[in-house]
Amino acid sequence: MANSSTGLKENKKAAAISPEKSTFKHWNLICIGILLIVTALVFSQFVFTDKMLGSAHSDQLASVGSKQYLSNSISHNGQFPTWESTRLGGMPSIDALFSDALYIPGTIVRALMPAHQAFGYLMVLHIFLAGMFFFLMLNKSFGVTRLAALTGAMFYMLSPQFVTHVYPGHDGKMFVIAWLPFVIWRLRSLLAIPALRNVALLGLGIAAMIFTSHIQMTYFVLWGVFLYWVVNTVLSVRAKEWHQNILLKSLAFWGAVFLGLGISFVQFFPSFMFVREAFSVRGIDRGFEHAASWSLHWAEFFSLWVHEFGNSLQYYWGKNYFKLNTEYAGMIPLLLSVLAIVSKPKSVWRVFWGAIAVFAVLFALGANTPFFSILYHTIPGVKSFRAPSMIMFWFTFATILLSVYFVKDLLSGRFNIIDGKEKQKWTRGLWIAMGGVTFIAILFSIESFAVSFSRSMMGGADAFRTFQVNFSEKFVPALWLWWLFIMVSLGMFLAVINGKIKPAVLVFTLLAIGMADMIKVNGQFIATESPRKYFYHNDPTLGELKSEFDKAPFRVFSVNGTFQTQNQEGAYGLEGVGGFHDNELNIYRSFRGDQRDIHFLESIADISPDGRLSLSMTKIIGNTPFLDLADVGYILLPSNTGGVAKVKNPTSLGRLSYAADYRVMDEDRIIPALRRREYNYRTTVALVEKPQLPFNKNDRRDDRSRPSAMAENNAGDESNVLTDKQSDAVDELQTAIDDFRSAAMVNNNQQLKVEWKKYTPNKRVAAVTMPSDGFLRISEVYYPGWRISIDGTEVKYYRSDMAWMAVPLKAGTYEVLMEPKSLYMDRALKVTLICTLMAVVILMLPLVKRSRGRAVKA
Residues with Cβ within 8 Å of 380's Cβ and at least 6 positions away in sequence, in order, are none
Which pLDDT belongs to residue 719? Answer: 32
Query: Comparing 238-242, 283-287, 727-731, which segment has the lowest mean pLDDT?
Result: 727-731
pLDDT of residue 78 exceeding 70: yes
Which pLDDT belongs to residue 381? Answer: 84
User: Confidence band (pLDDT; 50, 70, 90) for 57?
Assistant: confident
When the pLDDT of each residue in the chain is averaged and rounded to a whole number, the result is 87
Query: Comparing 73-87, 328-342, 701-715, 837-851, which segment has the lowest mean pLDDT?
Result: 701-715
User: Confidence band (pLDDT; 50, 70, 90) for 568?
Assistant: confident
- Listed in sequence order, the DSSP H helices in 368-419 are 370-378, 392-411
pLDDT of residue 707 exceeding 50: no
Which pLDDT belongs to residue 18? Answer: 44
Mean pLDDT of 511-520: 96
CA gap 351, 104 in Å, rounded: 37
Which pLDDT belongs to residue 710? Answer: 33
Whole-number Cα distances in Å, 13 to 140, 141, 491, 731 = 10, 7, 34, 75
- Listed in sequence order, the DSSP H helices in 715-779 are 727-742
Which pLDDT belongs to residue 107? Answer: 84
Which residue would you say has higher pLDDT here, 100 or 423? Answer: 423
Mean pLDDT of 220-238: 96
Mean pLDDT of 535-545: 84
Which pLDDT belongs to residue 619? Answer: 78
Residues 826-834: contacts with CB under 8 Å, at least 24 apart: 827/269, 828/265, 828/266, 828/269, 828/270, 829/266, 831/262, 831/265, 831/266, 831/269, 832/262, 832/263, 832/264, 832/265, 832/266, 834/262
Which residue would you say has higher pLDDT here, 579 or 18? Answer: 579
User: Confidence band (pLDDT; 50, 70, 90) for 727?
Assistant: very low
Contact 46, 528 (CB under 8 A): yes
| First-last CA distance in the chain | 52
User: Confidence band (pLDDT; 50, 70, 90) for 122?
Assistant: very high
CB-facing half-sphere around the CA of 317: CA atoms within 13 A = 26
pLDDT of residue 704 exceeding 70: no
pLDDT tens, residue by residue, 744-795: 334 444 489 999 999 999 999 999 999 999 999 999 999 999 999 999 999 9
Strands of the sheet with 632-638, listed across from one edge: 555-558, 632-638, 644-648
CA gap 830, 81 in Å, rounded: 19
Would you tell me how many other CB atoms lie within 10 Å of the CB of residue 469? 14
Mean pLDDT of 90-116: 85
CA gap 689, 853 in Å, rounded: 69
Secondary structure class of 776 (helix, strand, coil): strand
Which pLDDT belongs to residue 723? Answer: 43
User: Confidence band (pLDDT; 50, 70, 90) for 23?
Assistant: low
Which pLDDT belongs to residue 854? Answer: 59
pLDDT of residue 525 exceeding 70: yes
Mean pLDDT of 367-396: 92
Query: Comparing 65-79, 311-325, 612-626, 824-838, which segment has the lowest mean pLDDT?
Result: 612-626
User: Confidence band (pLDDT; 50, 70, 90) for 588?
Assistant: very high
Which residue would you say has higher pLDDT here, 242 or 392? Answer: 392
Would you tell me how many other CB atoms lie within 10 Å of the CB of residue 756? 16
Mean pLDDT of 599-624: 77
Would you list the DSSP string of 78-108?
A: ----SEE-SSTT-EETTTTT-TTTT-HHHHH
Which residue would you say has higher pLDDT here, 621 or 106? Answer: 106
Which pLDDT belongs to residue 248? Answer: 95
CA gap 298, 463 in Å, rounded: 14
**Phi and psi (nearest 5°) for 516?**
-60, -45
Contact 345, 351 (CB under 8 A): yes
Mean pLDDT of 433-456: 96
Query: Alpha carbon 590 to chain centroid distance?
Result: 25
CA gap 418, 406 in Å, rounded: 15
Q: What percent of the chain has pLDDT over 70?
A: 89
Beta strands 812-819; 787-790: pairing state = antiparallel
Query: Comparing 463-477, 555-569, 663-677, which segment has the lowest mean pLDDT?
Result: 555-569
For the ranges 43-57, 266-280, 289-303, 415-429, the one whose mean pLDDT is highest: 289-303
Which pLDDT belongs to residue 725? Answer: 42
Mean pLDDT of 738-748: 41
Beta bridge partners of 576: 556
Mean pLDDT of 395-407: 97
Which pLDDT belongs to residue 746? Answer: 40
Contact 400, 158 (CB under 8 A): no
pTM score = 0.86
